[in-house]
Structure 1
Amino acid sequence: MSDSAFHYVDGVLHAEGVSAASLAQQFGTPLYVYSRDALTRTYRAYADACAGRRAVVHVAVKANSNLAVLNVFARMGAGFDIVSSGELARVLAAGGKAENTVFSGVGKSAAEMREALEAGVKCFNVESIPELHALNEVAKSLGKRAPVSLRVNPDVDAKTHPYISTGLKSNKFGVAFSDARATYREAHAMPNLDVVGIDCHIGSQITEISPYLDALDKLLDLVEQIESDGMSIRHVDVGGGLGITYDDETPPDIGDFVRALLAHIEKRGHGQREVYFEPGRSLVGNAGVLLTRVEYLKPGEEKSFAIVDAAMNDLARPAMYEAFHRIVPVVKRDAPAHTYDVVGPVCESGDWLGRDRDLAVEPGDLLAICSAGAYGFVMSSNYNTRPRAAEVMVDGERARLVRQREDVRQLFAGESILPD
């Protein structure tokens, strides 16, 4: 397994001190299972590396927005990075604070800006000149000044999947590097904006430090130019995107990653600035698994299929990115393995969770889809009118249901048919 929170005891997979088989029996499948211990350890790795430095951690809510998960981080003093007013509502409901929350995203609406300003968020990461003007007008209508940081696109290749690379010229995100200095001058001239920082996020599932250092160099060069124009940049937001091990990737250790970036900033003479980290996947990815039950084994001339009760609506990453997740038996069988494509019941050829997996399984057996804590449940849908899975948090030898399984009737409760 990818994380020590999930391990085998006498051939049975456990989440911390609880058998995964017992979780499936109690709560049903498909079932997302999270480890509080794993969440705590990854957050502390970031926080400990930031200790004694002017550096803070903002958890990227989009990676996993379950209230119990967010509450684990809030109890440890985390800040949050949001991309919608809905995520702001989740942060507040989970015990987070607006004043420790930064609002990112390329398409904030005026209503979302108003809600965030009234709540008192820490900073808006702004991504375009039109957004600057819109935020200035909303702040004016409320008699406030909005704290802003511009998200600058440094045109650095993060060497990751094109769908999760966000720092190139061809991506929709951020202000073009060549336009950034002039955009800062324009923001500074707006009476209801307070320019406080600079932001950069180059992608996700990044497994090398070098792209971050390349982006930082460009960002810090720009900071020096901006300050020569008479503005003060108080913080540098380096974003998130640090990868995890799904298969054979070897991302840097979290502490080593944080210390390397902070050392580089200090080496460049910018150690007086506060540094924001916005991790998501590296905090929650290997803190969760998706449990699923084998419904049928279907042999074929070219492929054999293990048809399970989880599907692309439960875990979209394989269908969307051709992403790899390890798939392991919950109870190990002493039997020959056969090669299967692990697929779900959704009526799409793209409904697969793993291809060419060697598994010793029988109908009724349980499988665990590993590294499912990030971009798992949050990207799930009700396609084919399938209720979304339940979510459970394991804490030592206790397991708590932290999201109930949906009921089919809930899915169309807000709909109506035409009158006669």
Structure 2
Amino acid sequence: MKSVVNCGLVALCFLVLASCKREAEVRENQVKNSMELTAADILGNPNYQAISYGGYRQNTRDIQPTFEELKEDLRILEAMGIKVLRTYNVHLYHTSNLLLAIRALKKENPDFEMYVMLGAWIDCKDAWTDMEPDHQVESSANAGEIAQAVLLANAYPDIVKVIAVGNEAMIKWATSYYVQPRVILKWVVHLQKLKTEGKLPASLWITSSDDFASWGGGEKQYHTPELTKLIEAVDYISMHTYPYHNSHYNPEFWKVPESEANLPDIEKVDAAMIRAVAFARSQYNAVSEYVKGLGFDKPIHIGETGWASVSDGFYGPEGSRATDQYKQALYYKLIREWTDAAGISCFYFEAFNEPWKDAANKTGSENHFGLFTEDGQAKYALWDRVDQGVFKGLTRSGKPIKKTFGGIKDSLMRKVLAPPAQNEKTQAH
């Protein structure tokens, strides 16, 4: 009897050891596969849906999301099919903790897959201070931001697949902080040099994420020798396009033409959203034509585009009337359809509302670009995912993922207004 028991224990130990070995092999293969997968494999691949992510749930960034809150968000994003996140800076704990959270989830579940486009924030001298920004001189903090991005890219080569130098850092309407293209060029060249020296992964892609005009698709003031050198230096172009904002600043495409004046309001809205995506495509094509005209064949992806669901200003009821959850949902659907079919990665802006962005104005549009509210309610764009049960068992701040408006579409549609007529004046403030 004793020998039988001993044999059973030996067999059990063998099974446990074999199971541990298989688990270790699975994790090793997972890391290996993540290491082998590059930005070239991910960008433009519709199987790797991308989104811009900030996990801030309060009206200040002084309150950083916790490690568990980041994991909570990652599970939600994975459930909706997102596999690539875009971040914006590395000087706060948010990004380094996010990378830790991704690694933790990968250890917990070998099937969990998430990659990062790591943003390094770039400023001019005296940006965000009481002093006048000096747009000819860069901030002394930029060097530290780049150095930290390098450290993180080397520490997480299986996760970080892109470094983006700056966010809308060259466009001149970013009056608080914009820099000259030579600054972005300097840091892009620096990072490319580190790659050739073996101090960064050779497969890591380097870019800058900026407005379409900054990439040559707009005014000629941006068509400079420095921009040409920058286009040559980056591995791909990450451009932003916002028909939403242009519904106020360039409303010709947005306002209802005379030929549609007698349509029902909902048909006017649907037609306007089709025009909005056509507007985004025109900006993408303008950048593509400019780059090709210089003799370069560079991939071009969309680093940002999005649509807010609340606004009390230029885009609200007294302005362009662009803002509600129905229009946001339709834009999200149409922009995904176009970019997926065209082989363009679209880092949709954004995953969750971030109330810190316009903390003094709760109904300011900048607070409401998320596909989820800050307390985890799924906006209309994601109601079908709720119905499909993809968020079952998931929470944000301990609350289950439910539909906005209590799931009552009639309540949502009462907020939907048709765009102004071509000859109609608005009274936005």
TM-score range, shorter chain: 0.3 to 0.5
Question: Higher relative CO (CA 8 A, sep ≥ 6), structure 1 or 2?
Answer: 1
Greater fraction of residues in strand:
1
Which of the two has greater helix per residue?
2
Give TM-score, length-normalised by structure 2.
0.41
